[in-house]
Amino acid sequence: MIRTTTDGELVRRARAGEGRAFGELIGRYQRAAFAVALAVTGSREDAEDATQESFLVALEHLEDCRSPERFGGWLMTIVRNRSRNLVRREALRQTDPIPIGARSRRRGPDGDTETAELRRRLEQALRGLPEVQREIVLLHDLEGWKHREIAERLELPPGTVRSHLHFARKALRAELDGEQWIQSIRERA
Amino acid sequence: MSDPWTGRGREDRAAPEVVDLVGVLDPGFEDGEYWRRMRLRIMSAAAPELARRRAEHATVFEVVEGWARMLVPAAALAAGLAALILLRDGAPATRPLAVDEFLLSGIEEPVLSELASPSGAEGAVFASEVRF
């Protein structure tokens, strides 16, 4: 995708209240923000809430974004913090832990139960990874960010990103090995 | 397998089945309108803050223009109403008084004739000195 307007320009215009500029920033980063929020919360619904909340917080504090060209990284920090707060609030509210994916099933019907089950298993497997690995694997495999982009926005060395991604995938593969979906994908390949 | 929603390239193919499976975590996987709706929801919630920022960043010209947009129609309306009221009040206009007429109004005729007499012209005469 060719970006004709830089993030910095969009941030400056959004600071002046230009809705189109802010809308463009949402379009560019909502998937990545969701991926980071999902990595922290482990729940689609919470990730959705954290994503929306983070964009609003970012808009209210746009003047604090000292490097508008690096809006993406700044936003991801907000998403991470908001998501952690959300998890803490949820933990305080609930004495009994809700199984991962349970809330996903409660809200809205899933068209495909097999997909829902796969999603639940994946969410469970992701829970077993360190937060940074969850973020990296989701940003890379869900959002399609490149190693370089992830490294820049998470402020990590590219080699570390590559290594985290490798170990995260290996762990997920081990966790899901033997599942029928893995088998069917292997058969198709 | 191609990326079903971003179409962007992936660099690490060490575990292709994991890459493919992770796709189901995308809410847009089953709901093509998901991301558009989310964007609209955020934009809707952000509208008051964007409006506040627009108002804060308005230039002097924009402020004057904004005032003019409100004041010009209001002034035109007021002028129209005033004209309407004047036209509907069909009373004939009274002849304006000249200054000397205004000064002498209310003074009785004998006083006036005494004041106009030659003796009166010799010196100052007070109205209280006039004998009827």
CATH of the domain at A75: 1.10.1740.10
State whether residue B36 sits within 8 Å of chain A by CB. Answer: no
> Mean pLDDT for chain B?
74
Q: Which residues of B touch A173 (CB under 8 A)?
A: 15, 17-18
Looking at the partner chain, which of B22, B38, B41 has a beta carbon nearest the beta carbon of A141? B22
- A28 falls within a domain: yes
Chain B residues with beta carbon closer than 8 angstroms to that of A181: 17, 21
Task: Give the integer Cα–Cα distance in Å for B44 and A64.
Answer: 23
Q: Residues B73-126: pLDDT tens digits?
A: 888 899 998 888 888 776 555 666 677 777 777 777 766 676 666 655 555 666
Percent of chain B with pLDDT over 70: 60
pLDDT at A104: 46
Number of structural domains (chain A) is 1
- Report the complex ipTM: 0.76
* Rounded Cα gap, residues B129 and B132, in angstroms: 10
**pLDDT value at residue A50:** 95
Q: With respect to residue A2, please indicate whether it lies within any of the assigned structural domains.
A: no
Domain assignment present for A1: no
Please give the residue that has the higher pLDDT: either A158 or A182: A158
Mutate to test the interface with B, among A169, A179, A183 (most CBs of B within 10 A): A169
Structural domain spans, chain B: 1-57, 59-93, 99-129
B53/A26 Cβ within 8 A: no
User: Per the CB < 8 Å rule, is B18 touching A110?
Assistant: no
pLDDT band at A144 (very low <50, low <70, confident <90, very high): confident
The tens digit of pLDDT for each residue in A17-66 reads: 999 999 999 999 999 999 999 999 988 889 999 999 999 999 999 999 99
What is the predicted pLDDT for the residue at B90?
62
Please give the share of chain A, as a percent, with pLDDT higher than 90: 53
Residue A35 in domain: yes
pLDDT at B69 over 80: no
Residue of B nearest to A163 (CA): B12
Nearest Cα to Cα of residue A175 among B21, B52, B125: B21
Q: Which domain holds residue A177?
A: 7-188
pLDDT at B7: 38
- pLDDT of B10: 47
Secondary structure of residue B123 in the 3-state scheme: coil
Dist CA A141 CA B76 (whole Å): 64
Assess if residue A137 is contained within a domain: yes
- Using an 8 Å Cβ cutoff, are B14 and A168 in contact? no
Are the C-beta atoms of A86 and A39 separated by less than 8 Å?
A: no
